[in-house]
Copies of this chain bind each other. A is one copy, B any other.
Amino acid sequence: MTTLKVLCLNCSLKQQPEPSETEALARKVLRSFQQEGLDTEILRLSDYTILPGTKSNMGLGDQWPEILDKIRACHILIIATPIWMGHSASYVQRIFERLDDIFYNPDLVDRSSGRYFTYNKVGAALVTGNEDGAHEAVRHILWGLQEFGFSIPPNSNSYWVGVAGGQINYTEGGGEHHEYTNKNNAYLVMNSIHLARVLQEQPFTTDFKTIEREAKKNGN
Protein backbone atom coordinates (compact mmCIF):
# COMPACT_ATOMS: atom_id res chain seq x y z
CA MET A 1 0.00 0.00 0.00
CA THR A 2 1.25 3.51 -0.88
CA THR A 3 2.30 5.59 2.11
CA LEU A 4 -0.04 8.57 2.00
CA LYS A 5 1.52 12.04 2.01
CA VAL A 6 0.10 15.02 3.86
CA LEU A 7 1.15 18.51 2.77
CA CYS A 8 0.36 21.49 4.98
CA LEU A 9 0.68 25.02 3.55
CA ASN A 10 1.08 27.47 6.44
CA CYS A 11 -0.26 30.88 5.39
CA SER A 12 1.21 32.73 8.39
CA LEU A 13 2.47 36.24 7.64
CA LYS A 14 5.40 35.66 10.00
CA GLN A 15 8.85 35.05 8.58
CA GLN A 16 11.13 32.32 9.89
CA PRO A 17 12.51 32.05 12.51
CA GLU A 18 9.66 33.95 14.17
CA PRO A 19 7.33 31.34 15.66
CA SER A 20 3.91 30.92 14.02
CA GLU A 21 0.88 30.03 16.15
CA THR A 22 -0.75 28.45 13.13
CA GLU A 23 2.31 26.25 12.76
CA ALA A 24 2.01 25.15 16.38
CA LEU A 25 -1.51 23.87 15.69
CA ALA A 26 -0.47 22.40 12.34
CA ARG A 27 2.50 20.52 13.80
CA LYS A 28 0.28 19.00 16.46
CA VAL A 29 -2.10 17.77 13.78
CA LEU A 30 0.75 16.49 11.59
CA ARG A 31 2.09 14.45 14.52
CA SER A 32 -1.25 12.65 14.64
CA PHE A 33 -0.98 11.88 10.94
CA GLN A 34 2.53 10.52 11.52
CA GLN A 35 1.24 8.30 14.31
CA GLU A 36 -1.15 6.83 11.75
CA GLY A 37 1.80 6.07 9.48
CA LEU A 38 1.53 8.92 6.98
CA ASP A 39 4.36 11.07 5.65
CA THR A 40 3.96 14.76 6.43
CA GLU A 41 5.51 18.02 5.26
CA ILE A 42 4.81 21.63 6.22
CA LEU A 43 5.78 24.71 4.22
CA ARG A 44 5.65 28.25 5.46
CA LEU A 45 4.59 30.32 2.46
CA SER A 46 6.42 33.41 3.73
CA ASP A 47 9.66 31.47 3.05
CA TYR A 48 8.82 31.45 -0.65
CA THR A 49 8.46 34.10 -3.32
CA ILE A 50 5.01 33.54 -4.76
CA LEU A 51 4.48 36.08 -7.49
CA PRO A 52 1.02 37.56 -8.06
CA GLY A 53 -0.79 36.15 -11.08
CA THR A 54 -2.93 33.26 -12.23
CA LYS A 55 -0.50 31.11 -14.15
CA SER A 56 1.45 28.13 -12.80
CA ASN A 57 4.71 29.88 -13.53
CA MET A 58 4.88 33.68 -13.38
CA GLY A 59 8.52 33.80 -14.44
CA LEU A 60 11.84 34.82 -12.96
CA GLY A 61 12.07 34.30 -9.20
CA ASP A 62 8.67 32.67 -8.88
CA GLN A 63 8.81 29.77 -6.43
CA TRP A 64 5.20 28.67 -6.85
CA PRO A 65 6.27 25.86 -9.23
CA GLU A 66 8.09 24.15 -6.32
CA ILE A 67 4.98 24.36 -4.19
CA LEU A 68 2.78 23.17 -7.02
CA ASP A 69 5.00 20.09 -7.43
CA LYS A 70 4.50 19.28 -3.78
CA ILE A 71 0.73 19.69 -4.11
CA ARG A 72 0.81 17.29 -7.06
CA ALA A 73 2.66 14.73 -4.98
CA CYS A 74 0.46 14.83 -1.87
CA HIS A 75 -2.72 12.89 -1.08
CA ILE A 76 -4.04 15.22 1.61
CA LEU A 77 -3.64 18.99 1.37
CA ILE A 78 -4.17 21.11 4.49
CA ILE A 79 -4.33 24.88 4.19
CA ALA A 80 -3.52 26.42 7.58
CA THR A 81 -4.09 30.11 8.20
CA PRO A 82 -4.08 32.77 10.88
CA ILE A 83 -7.02 35.19 11.06
CA TRP A 84 -6.52 38.87 10.24
CA MET A 85 -9.51 41.19 10.30
CA GLY A 86 -11.88 38.25 10.64
CA HIS A 87 -10.55 36.72 7.42
CA SER A 88 -8.03 34.16 6.16
CA ALA A 89 -4.54 35.55 5.49
CA SER A 90 -3.81 36.95 2.02
CA TYR A 91 -1.67 33.89 1.23
CA VAL A 92 -4.81 31.72 1.10
CA GLN A 93 -6.25 33.78 -1.71
CA ARG A 94 -2.80 33.91 -3.35
CA ILE A 95 -2.77 30.07 -3.40
CA PHE A 96 -6.18 30.06 -5.07
CA GLU A 97 -5.11 32.64 -7.64
CA ARG A 98 -2.11 30.48 -8.54
CA LEU A 99 -4.26 27.32 -8.78
CA ASP A 100 -6.69 29.04 -11.17
CA ASP A 101 -4.55 27.79 -14.05
CA ILE A 102 -6.05 24.34 -13.49
CA PHE A 103 -9.03 25.47 -15.56
CA TYR A 104 -6.85 26.29 -18.60
CA ASN A 105 -3.52 24.46 -18.49
CA PRO A 106 -3.39 21.00 -20.13
CA ASP A 107 -0.42 20.10 -17.92
CA LEU A 108 -2.66 20.28 -14.87
CA VAL A 109 -5.22 17.76 -16.09
CA ASP A 110 -5.26 14.11 -17.01
CA ARG A 111 -4.47 13.92 -20.73
CA SER A 112 -7.14 11.44 -21.76
CA SER A 113 -10.05 12.58 -19.56
CA GLY A 114 -9.29 16.24 -18.88
CA ARG A 115 -9.82 15.61 -15.13
CA TYR A 116 -7.96 18.02 -12.80
CA PHE A 117 -4.80 16.63 -11.19
CA THR A 118 -6.41 17.30 -7.81
CA TYR A 119 -9.08 14.63 -8.18
CA ASN A 120 -8.75 11.86 -5.59
CA LYS A 121 -6.85 14.16 -3.26
CA VAL A 122 -8.42 15.26 0.02
CA GLY A 123 -8.62 18.84 1.38
CA ALA A 124 -8.75 20.21 4.92
CA ALA A 125 -8.36 23.49 6.85
CA LEU A 126 -6.71 24.66 10.07
CA VAL A 127 -7.17 28.12 11.58
CA THR A 128 -5.80 30.01 14.56
CA GLY A 129 -6.57 33.51 15.74
CA ASN A 130 -6.86 35.66 18.83
CA GLU A 131 -10.54 35.94 18.15
CA ASP A 132 -13.46 35.53 15.77
CA GLY A 133 -13.12 34.56 12.11
CA ALA A 134 -12.36 30.83 11.97
CA HIS A 135 -15.56 29.69 10.29
CA GLU A 136 -15.21 32.33 7.59
CA ALA A 137 -11.60 31.26 6.94
CA VAL A 138 -12.67 27.61 6.74
CA ARG A 139 -15.49 28.48 4.33
CA HIS A 140 -13.01 30.26 2.08
CA ILE A 141 -10.53 27.37 2.14
CA LEU A 142 -12.83 24.37 1.81
CA TRP A 143 -14.98 25.94 -0.89
CA GLY A 144 -11.89 26.77 -2.94
CA LEU A 145 -10.44 23.29 -2.51
CA GLN A 146 -13.70 21.67 -3.57
CA GLU A 147 -13.89 23.95 -6.62
CA PHE A 148 -10.34 22.97 -7.61
CA GLY A 149 -11.15 19.26 -7.45
CA PHE A 150 -10.30 18.15 -3.91
CA SER A 151 -12.72 15.98 -1.94
CA ILE A 152 -13.78 17.27 1.46
CA PRO A 153 -14.42 14.75 4.23
CA PRO A 154 -16.88 15.52 7.02
CA ASN A 155 -15.58 17.77 9.83
CA SER A 156 -12.56 18.55 7.76
CA ASN A 157 -11.44 21.56 9.78
CA SER A 158 -10.13 22.51 13.18
CA TYR A 159 -9.37 25.85 14.81
CA TRP A 160 -8.64 27.76 17.95
CA VAL A 161 -9.81 31.31 18.65
CA GLY A 162 -10.15 33.27 21.87
CA VAL A 163 -12.94 35.42 23.29
CA ALA A 164 -14.14 38.60 21.46
CA GLY A 165 -11.31 41.08 21.04
CA GLY A 166 -8.88 38.62 22.61
CA GLN A 167 -5.17 39.38 22.50
CA ILE A 168 -3.97 35.92 23.45
CA ASN A 169 -2.69 33.38 20.93
CA TYR A 170 -3.21 29.64 20.53
CA THR A 171 -0.20 28.56 22.58
CA GLU A 172 -0.49 31.17 25.29
CA GLY A 173 -4.25 30.60 25.47
CA GLY A 174 -3.80 26.90 26.17
CA GLY A 175 -4.99 25.88 22.73
CA GLU A 176 -2.87 22.74 22.73
CA HIS A 177 -4.98 21.42 25.58
CA HIS A 178 -8.29 22.85 24.40
CA GLU A 179 -10.70 19.96 24.33
CA TYR A 180 -12.86 21.26 21.51
CA THR A 181 -9.90 21.96 19.22
CA ASN A 182 -8.30 18.61 19.95
CA LYS A 183 -11.54 16.78 19.23
CA ASN A 184 -11.77 18.53 15.87
CA ASN A 185 -8.12 17.80 15.16
CA ALA A 186 -8.88 14.11 15.59
CA TYR A 187 -11.98 14.18 13.35
CA LEU A 188 -9.94 15.94 10.67
CA VAL A 189 -7.13 13.40 10.86
CA MET A 190 -9.26 10.26 10.93
CA ASN A 191 -11.70 11.42 8.26
CA SER A 192 -9.00 12.70 5.89
CA ILE A 193 -7.09 9.46 6.08
CA HIS A 194 -10.17 7.33 5.50
CA LEU A 195 -11.31 9.34 2.49
CA ALA A 196 -7.80 9.48 0.99
CA ARG A 197 -7.41 5.70 1.32
CA VAL A 198 -10.81 4.98 -0.17
CA LEU A 199 -10.13 7.27 -3.12
CA GLN A 200 -6.83 5.51 -3.75
CA GLU A 201 -8.69 2.24 -4.05
CA GLN A 202 -11.76 3.54 -5.84
CA PRO A 203 -10.84 6.77 -7.59
CA PHE A 204 -13.17 9.17 -9.36
CA THR A 205 -13.03 8.46 -13.08
CA THR A 206 -15.15 11.44 -14.15
CA ASP A 207 -14.54 12.07 -17.83
CA PHE A 208 -14.38 15.85 -18.28
CA LYS A 209 -13.89 15.68 -22.02
CA THR A 210 -17.03 13.66 -22.62
CA ILE A 211 -19.00 15.90 -20.27
CA GLU A 212 -17.76 19.02 -22.03
CA ARG A 213 -18.60 17.58 -25.42
CA GLU A 214 -22.14 16.76 -24.30
CA ALA A 215 -22.63 20.22 -22.76
CA LYS A 216 -21.43 21.91 -25.94
CA LYS A 217 -23.74 19.76 -28.09
CA ASN A 218 -26.75 20.82 -26.01
CA GLY A 219 -25.56 24.39 -25.61
CA ASN A 220 -26.99 27.60 -26.92
Contact = CB atoms under 8 A, between A and B. Distances in A.
Interface of A: 13, 15, 46, 52-54, 84-91, 93-94, 96-97, 100, 116, 118-119, 131-136, 138-140, 142-144, 146-157, 159-166, 173-175, 177-184, 186-187, 190-191, 194-195, 198-199, 201-202, 204-206, 208, 211-212, 214-216, 218-220
B206 A191 contact: yes
A34 B53 CA distance: 31
B218 A177 contact: yes
Contact of A164 (B89, B151, B180, B212): B180
A212 to B, nearest CB: 6
Contact of A87 (B140, B146, B162, B166): B140
A216 B96 contact: no
20 contacts: A13-B52, A84-B97, A87-B96, A87-B135, A87-B144, A143-B143, A148-B154, A161-B164, A163-B173, A163-B178, A164-B175, A164-B178, A164-B181, A177-B220, A182-B214, A187-B206, A187-B211, A190-B211, A194-B202, A201-B202
A190 B131 CA distance: 25
A154 B165 contact: no
Contacts of A219: 177-179, 182
